[in-house]
A and B are shown apart, each in its own frame.
Chain A
């Protein structure tokens, strides 16, 4: 989201500096940003940082408590929990981001279309939205994930199917309110085409709000990925995943609680990082 910030309409140099200062004076954005950078850093650098291969088993050193050798101990198959944790961050976050790209683009675009043109375009898009939103999210996720075989494919398919709705709803409302404003009308009188107005003028204005929603939505998606993993229909072993780590560690909750607690906290941590960033961005744009 850093890059989105910089892509906003051009500002003179000194104003950009003040943007930077505003960022610094938004504590939730700073906190969320730092948490995210840390997390992404760990995930990206996992191959460098991790002391072991994530699926390397040692059947004679299983369920070891945290030590200098294994920072977070080992799991039931003697795999290094720390290595698995950061590799899981890698796989979970990668899926989370990849699975959001298409829904985000289609959702924002359809929302703008519906909001800008109104009338039958709006009616059709809203009808589709209402239809999809009628299906409980987890119901669709579970059905599609199961039917398309456990693994990442199900998550992608599900999200392409239903993920765009949230964005469409938000941008539709915003676009509809912008449409009534004068500057859009004046752009129309200048003879600019609808698509041009949407992309050049509407998009920069709805994007901030959409990005804020994206942050919250990503939390929901991550939780869904983890839940699928926990249910045994998510990311397939041996690829590490926080959900399966929680499920695997659950048997040892009283004897080796860190096994399921640590990946659980990782999910909560990511959730906090993303929602803080989202709150912060919302704050920032509200103040502008």
Chain B
């Protein structure tokens, strides 16, 4: 239960910000090291070997309404986590963040990293019963290329061709390693050729895809009701008949409704409420390692925070271990590097970060233009009590080295407008990857030419930019790792943002729910869900 303002919650971690990850081309299939998701609390198949329990309606409480199913134009989690129930990509990531074949039976990436070949599964059908062909995939990817959108395909695609009814070939101009990961995103789901013969507008109102669920009733400002796709390619699944996305804007409301059994699971579970649900006999908490990094961002255009010594001093003054412990109740890891441990090439264990040392912090501040401290403001969004607490810890830490921070709390919408306009000195926010790819976060947070302008910090460093582009072209392997290690070290030294911790994905559910799969981007897979009667 956080404060009253109803809007901010996990969607913030998962969606709007992390949002925009520029997708570019090249690569081979990922060598997903280092991802170590905690296993979910109860996503096991029915253990008794008997027939799985089927039927029933699953109600999922979510903080924001689904207002569009246009997979190529959407990015925020409120839509993404509904789109991925209806449309599915050729390859997908599993709950460990590993890329696996999904609609494709198999895929192959040529040695030069320029040709991608996918073979579709046999007997694959859309929810209306039509066979899925390679031509549908061609249409889907071409529309994405044409539309662009917030998750535009960044790889330089030369051609997309259907070699035969089941085989799709994509050719790139130059290698782009993150490509295969980015194809696993919801925005690369497969839709029927020519929207199945209806107009685009009509199609997006009644979308047809290969996903486990079909939209039955949809209020763009309220709830969505899905029914199960009887033509789903995973035999016998989904087990439930209906899935309802229920709009519950307020955190505490959501928790109360879960406790009261009015919903079966909730998407927005604040860290501080997790243990309460875990302790309850009727409720459980499902977790997974996330692709999210909670950070303190500086506006490098600000008179104080343009000084690297000020930023370093503050980083040294903050006890990240203590902060993580006090705020996250064991549902997070303290952060050293920008990349979360669930993302390949993270250097969280090896990086030399600025660790808590007040004396050193004071010494660092003494080197700056403001040796005797100053007063500034910290911008946070209302409605997220963990952030409010976090802000107080930072306020206290800053005070210990002579920096006076006034906490400015504004509503989520205002918060976003403010930082989009660089109208902040420092702010608390999080960055997130959309696919299991280092480039996903790094491009968003370090590219001064990208639309996010290094996550609105306006941080510009030529070497960082160079390393970023190099990493995109380098095939997976040690040399790519070295590039990203170097990049992360520069960021840790110059601190345009201080990574604070990596929060787990938390989903609150009724104990009666079985088979819920939590993905590291915060979405859920419902096809294995069974409701105990």
Do A and B have CB atoms closer than 8 angstroms in the complex? Answer: yes
Contact in complex: B395, A238 (CB < 8 Å)? yes
Chain A CB within 8 A of B485 CB: no
Contact in complex: B406, A236 (CB < 8 Å)? yes
Contact in complex: B389, A77 (CB < 8 Å)? yes
Chain B CB within 8 A of A248 CB: yes
List chain A residues, Cβ under 8 A from B391: 237
| Contact for A232 among B3, B270, B327, CB less than 8 A | B3
What are 27 A-B contacts defined by CB distance under 8 Å? Answer: A59-B322, A59-B326, A60-B322, A76-B327, A76-B389, A77-B326, A77-B392, A77-B393, A77-B396, A231-B3, A231-B4, A232-B409, A233-B409, A237-B388, A237-B392, A237-B395, A238-B395, A247-B3, A248-B388, A250-B1, A250-B252, A251-B270, A251-B272, A251-B276, A252-B276, A254-B276, A255-B276
Interface centre among B3, B5, B252, B276 (most CB of A within 10 A): B3
- Contact residues, A232-274 vs B (CB, 8 A): 232-233, 236-238, 247-248, 250-255
Contact in complex: B393, A251 (CB < 8 Å)? no
Chain A CB within 8 A of B382 CB: yes
Chain B CB within 8 A of A230 CB: yes
| Contact for B407 among A76, A236, A255, CB less than 8 A | A236
* Alpha-carbon separation in the docked complex, A238 to B392 (Å): 7
Query: Which A residue sits closest to B275, measured CB to CB?
Result: A255
Contact in complex: B389, A248 (CB < 8 Å)? yes
| Cβ of B193 to closest chain A Cβ, rounded Å | 50
- Contact residues, A55-98 vs B (CB, 8 A): 55, 57, 59-60, 62, 76-78
* Alpha-carbon separation in the docked complex, A247 to B392 (Å): 14
Chain A CB within 8 A of B325 CB: yes
List chain B residues, Cβ under 8 A from A60: 322, 325-326
- Contact residues, A195-247 vs B (CB, 8 A): 230-233, 236-238, 247
Chain A CB within 8 A of B323 CB: yes
Contact in complex: A57, B393 (CB < 8 Å)? yes
| Cβ of B174 to closest chain A Cβ, rounded Å | 48
Please name 13 further chain A to chain B contacts, defined as beta carbons within 8 Å, in addition to the given A59-B319, A76-B389, sorted by A numbering.
Answer: A59-B322, A59-B393, A77-B326, A231-B3, A232-B409, A236-B406, A238-B392, A247-B385, A248-B385, A248-B388, A251-B273, A251-B385, A254-B276
List chain B residues, Cβ under 8 A from A112: none
- Contact residues, B326-343 vs A (CB, 8 A): 326-327
List chain B residues, Cβ under 8 A from A57: 392-393, 396
Chain A CB within 8 A of B135 CB: no
List chain A residues, Cβ under 8 A from B252: 250
In order of increasing CB-CB distance, the 7 nearest A-B pairs are: A59-B322, A251-B272, A59-B326, A62-B326, A250-B1, A254-B276, A57-B396
Interface centre among A230, A232, A238, A250 (most CB of B within 10 A): A232
- Contact residues, A40-66 vs B (CB, 8 A): 55, 57, 59-60, 62
List chain A residues, Cβ under 8 A from B323: 59
* Alpha-carbon separation in the docked complex, A153 to B57 (Å): 51
| Cβ of A288 to closest chain B Cβ, rounded Å | 46
List chain B residues, Cβ under 8 A from A237: 388, 391-392, 395, 407
* Alpha-carbon separation in the docked complex, A237 to B392 (Å): 7
Chain A CB within 8 A of B198 CB: no
Chain B CB within 8 A of A150 CB: yes
| Contact for B1 among A62, A77, A233, A253, CB less than 8 A | A253
Contact in complex: B3, A76 (CB < 8 Å)? no
Query: Which B residue sits closest to A251, measured CB to CB?
Result: B272
Chain B interface size range: 20 to 34
* Alpha-carbon separation in the docked complex, A254 to B407 (Å): 28
List chain A residues, Cβ under 8 A from B279: 254-255
Chain A CB within 8 A of B2 CB: yes
Question: Chain B 240-255 against A: per-residue CB contact (8 Å), 1 yes, 0 no?
Answer: 0000000000001000
| Cβ of B426 to closest chain A Cβ, rounded Å | 16
Contact in complex: A251, B407 (CB < 8 Å)? no
* Alpha-carbon separation in the docked complex, A113 to B205 (Å): 68
List chain A residues, Cβ under 8 A from B392: 57, 77, 237-238
Question: Chain A 16-44 against B: per-residue CB contact (8 Å), 1 yes, 0 no?
Answer: 00000000000000000000000000000
Chain A interface residues (CB < 8 Å from chain B): 55, 57, 59-60, 62, 76-78, 150, 230-233, 236-238, 247-248, 250-255
| Cβ of B106 to closest chain A Cβ, rounded Å | 48
| Cβ of B408 to closest chain A Cβ, rounded Å | 8
* Alpha-carbon separation in the docked complex, A55 to B279 (Å): 30
* Alpha-carbon separation in the docked complex, A247 to B280 (Å): 22
List chain B residues, Cβ under 8 A from A248: 385, 388-389
Contact in complex: B272, A252 (CB < 8 Å)? yes
Known: A232-B388, A236-B407. A251 touches B1 (CB 8 A): yes
Interface centre among A55, A76, A236, A250 (most CB of B within 10 A): A76
* Alpha-carbon separation in the docked complex, A250 to B250 (Å): 14
List chain B residues, Cβ under 8 A from A77: 326, 389, 392-393, 396
List chain B residues, Cβ under 8 A from A253: 1
List chain A residues, Cβ under 8 A from B275: 255
Query: Which A residue sits closest to B272, measured CB to CB?
Result: A251
Contact in complex: A232, B5 (CB < 8 Å)? yes
List chain B residues, Cβ under 8 A from A255: 275-276, 279
| Cβ of A261 to closest chain B Cβ, rounded Å | 14
List chain B residues, Cβ under 8 A from A251: 1-2, 270, 272-273, 276, 385
Query: Which A residue sits closest to B323, measured CB to CB?
Result: A59
Query: Which B residue sits closest to A60, measured CB to CB?
Result: B322
- Contact residues, B306-363 vs A (CB, 8 A): 319, 321-323, 325-327
Interface centre among A76, A231, A251 (most CB of B within 10 A): A251
Known: A247-B385, A255-B276, A255-B279. A150 touches B409 (CB 8 A): yes
* Alpha-carbon separation in the docked complex, A255 to B322 (Å): 21
| Cβ of A141 to closest chain B Cβ, rounded Å | 15
List chain B residues, Cβ under 8 A from A59: 319, 321-323, 325-326, 393
| Cβ of B184 to closest chain A Cβ, rounded Å | 35
* Alpha-carbon separation in the docked complex, A231 to B3 (Å): 7
Query: Which B residue sits closest to A57, measured CB to CB?
Result: B396
| Cβ of A264 to closest chain B Cβ, rounded Å | 14
- Contact residues, B375-414 vs A (CB, 8 A): 382, 385, 388-389, 391-393, 395-396, 406-407, 409
List chain B residues, Cβ under 8 A from A78: 326
| Cβ of B8 to closest chain A Cβ, rounded Å | 12
Contact in complex: A55, B388 (CB < 8 Å)? no
List chain A residues, Cβ under 8 A from B406: 236
List chain A residues, Cβ under 8 A from B3: 230-232, 247
| Cβ of A6 to closest chain B Cβ, rounded Å | 44
Question: Chain B 1-18 against A: per-residue CB contact (8 Å), 1 yes, 0 no?
Answer: 111110000000000000
Query: Which A residue sits closest to B392, measured CB to CB?
Result: A237
* Alpha-carbon separation in the docked complex, A248 to B386 (Å): 9
List chain A residues, Cβ under 8 A from B407: 236-237
Query: Which A residue sits closest to B270, measured CB to CB?
Result: A251
* Alpha-carbon separation in the docked complex, A230 to B2 (Å): 10
* Alpha-carbon separation in the docked complex, A233 to B383 (Å): 12
* Alpha-carbon separation in the docked complex, A230 to B1 (Å): 12
| Contact for A76 among B1, B272, B273, B321, CB less than 8 A | B272
| Cβ of A146 to closest chain B Cβ, rounded Å | 10
List chain B residues, Cβ under 8 A from A254: 276, 279-280
